[in-house]
Homo-oligomer: A and B are copies of this chain.
Amino acid sequence: MSSQPTSISTEQCEACHLRPLCLPDHLRDADLIRRLQRAVTSSPPRPRGSLLYTVGDRRHSFFFLRSGSAKAIVSDEQGTACVTSFFFPTDIIGVSSLESPVYQESVELLERSAVCEIKASALEELCGGHGEVLHGLFAKIAGSFELERGARLRNNHASSDARIADLLLEIRRRMQAIGRSTEQIVLPMSRYDIASHLCMAPETVSRGFGRLKDDHLIEVRGKNIRLRNPAALMKLAQGDGNRRASQVVREAG
């Protein structure tokens, strides 16, 4: 509760009580440590409720939580928010947006908390001459990260139809990324795999495909799926999940 110093030197790293749990652990090269510290900005604790960043901000930094706690929030366009993660001291914040030029989530402090800020540019520079490899690798890693979170969000508040629609759209997107058809997709996985992935019974997958077919959003022939109305699928996937496919079709035509 006592007031904190308003400015903290970057040399604080050497005295930080979290040092052994922080990024530059077991570093021996003094020059490297000095350069790393130049990339890091410590600052006084921020009040509860303040935002480290919000969706769409230019991704300029990563954060390292020194004290307190935080939550990450992803909100669909409809305003339905979902808490994807909680952060505690020594957690790194912001890596899930590694790939993107803007943050994919908002992070809000749950209590008065102190963070270290690590400029992304400085960190990249720090990684030396092989930035190209790193950049490619980071992009891949971040891609996997996004997929994992996408799967997580998909299973959240949405109805079974919405989750199925969302999975179909993700597969479509990934097929498009590698130059395949966006209209006709061939599912390589069984209905059981889909069910397991979407956390539902295989029967529910069947019924879901059936409803989407009845509403003319897709055509189903075994593992061959034809996307008849991607716009309506998106509407359904992003909807609040309380509406059946047939309710969406009228709006998205």
Contacts and interface: CB of A to CB of B under 8 A. Distances in A.
A199 interface: yes
Interface string A2-30: 00000000000000001001011111110
Interface stretch (A51-59, A148-156, A208-216): A148-156
Interface in A62-83: 68-69, 71, 81-83
Interface in A26-55: 26-29, 32, 36
B95 A193 contact: no
Given A88-B175, A141-B95, A175-B88, A127 B134 contact: yes
Contacts of A27: 132-133, 136
Contacts of A25: 136
A197 B147 contact: no
A27 B129 CA distance: 12
A91 interface: yes
A71 B194 CA distance: 10
Contacts of A29: 132
A250 interface: no
Contact of A189 (B26, B86, B92): B86
B136 A127 contact: no
A23 B197 contact: no
Contacts of A110: 188-189, 193
Contact of A178 (B21, B23, B134, B155): B21
A96 B23 contact: no
A133 B31 CA distance: 13
A98 interface: yes
Given A132-B27, A136-B25, A155-B155, A82 B196 contact: yes
Given A84-B151, A152-B152, 10 more contacts: A21-B178, A23-B137, A24-B136, A27-B132, A82-B199, A83-B197, A85-B197, A141-B141, A141-B145, A148-B149
